[in-house]
Amino acid sequence: MIRVGVVGASGYTGLELVKMLVTHPKFELSYLATTSGDTTIEALHSSLEGVVSHPVEKATVSSVVEACELVFLALPHKTAMGFAKGLLEAGLKVVDLSADYRLELETYEKHYCPHEDIAHLSQAVYGLPEYYKEALKTTQLVASPGCYPTATLLGILPFISYIDTTAPLFVDAKSGVSGAGKKLSETTHFVTVNDNIFAYNPLKHRHAPEIVEKIEKIHGVTMSVNFVPHLIPATRGELVSVYATLKEDIDPLAILKAHYANDPFVRVRERPVGIKQTAGTHFCDIFAARNERGLFVSSAIDNLLRGASSQALAAANLMCGYEEGLGLPRIPCMP
């Protein structure tokens, strides 16, 4: 068994990690931490009472190093790299769920903050298993993708060579409120969100440069991406609609099926997809349709799982030489 820990265990993605690690056949949950510690996981998350009992410590680099071989950082950006640096120097495997190691330095500093661990930045592998499987098997550091980039990239990457890449890509995304983390704000307040749907950070969201950069790295083309996220009155789930212009006569579903034939966690669907069918799972469901030159691609994920914690676990499995799907949730919360 490999000893693993979660720093940020009181948060939403931390909770999802704990739920999967409790039953993981090869990982032993050996360390949990938050800012202040001095509690237990069942006290932080009453839903875990009777399921798991584990102390939660105040997070320090030395306590993580003592207890773990691999650690998940379910922390805000900036805080995450503050921990990662020392953990990597001590030889631990690190899976970071924040944005700290996802982007090239210049892009990161333009959209987030000055980077504090430049030495390790170039070592990070982007944790999208369908595209970086081999690199994930040998890395010490994983930059787990953002939730919107996960759904967008899995949907559009199979089509890049068939679309007009000189035209902008339009990405219309909708997310459940857990995407914003556990901290309450006016935007995520029940009264603001309930019976409502609205765009936030239109054309300015930080996930747009992540989408642009990964299309560039994987396909060698620079595309302009018009990205508009919306908040919807749901707890979890994310639906991304991508609109592009075709330059060839293609069968979109046939392309998707061929592209993901060996990827068990991408389900190509014959009908438009929805967030409920993927809620509680690691699946990304994708549908695509076209008219004369218009291409519509729609992908659905659970933002807390495929968009964060189960994707981080899939990367950790690969880093440790295990099968990608070990311990990943497959049964949706339906109805």
Ligand X SMILES: NC(=O)c1ccc[n+]([C@@H]2O[C@H](COP(=O)([O-])OP(=O)(O)OC[C@H]3O[C@@H](n4cnc5c(N)ncnc54)[C@H](OP(=O)(O)O)[C@@H]3O)[C@@H](O)[C@H]2O)c1
Q: Which residues bind ligand X (CB under 6 A)?
A: 7-14, 33-36, 59, 74-77, 79, 97-98, 146-147, 178-179, 181-183, 303-304, 307-308
Nearer to ligand X, 171 or 244 (CB): 171
Residues 161 and 246: beta-carbon distance below 8 Å? no
Nearer to ligand X, 127 or 327 (CB): 127
**Residue closest to ligand X, measured at CB:** 11
Angle between helices 129-136 and 310-319 (to 10 degrees): 30
CB of 249 to ligand X, least distance (A): 37
CB of 240 to ligand X, least distance (A): 13
Residues 169 and 225: beta-carbon distance below 8 Å? yes
- Pairing of the two strands 39-40 and 55-58: antiparallel
Residues ≥6 apart with Cβ < 8 Å to 334: 276, 277, 279
Residues marked active site are found at 147
> Hey, is 199 helix, strand or coil?
strand
Nearer to ligand X, 148 or 287 (CB): 148
Q: What is the DSSP string of 285-326?
A: EEEEEESSSEEEEEEEE-TTIIIIIHHHHHHHHHHTTS-TTT
Residue 37: name the closest of 83, 6, 2 by CA: 6
CB of 158 to ligand X, least distance (A): 22
CB of 76 to ligand X, least distance (A): 5
Nearer to ligand X, 58 or 293 (CB): 58
Nearer to ligand X, 9 or 65 (CB): 9
d(CA 181, CA 303): 11
Alpha helices by DSSP H, listed for 90-161, are 105-111, 118-121, 129-136, 147-156
Residues ≥6 apart with Cβ < 8 Å to 25: 326, 327
Q: b/e per residue, 122-136, with b = 16+ CB within 10 A? A: eebbbbbbbbbbeeb
Residue 1: name the closest of 31, 20, 25 by CA: 25
Nearer to ligand X, 79 or 192 (CB): 79
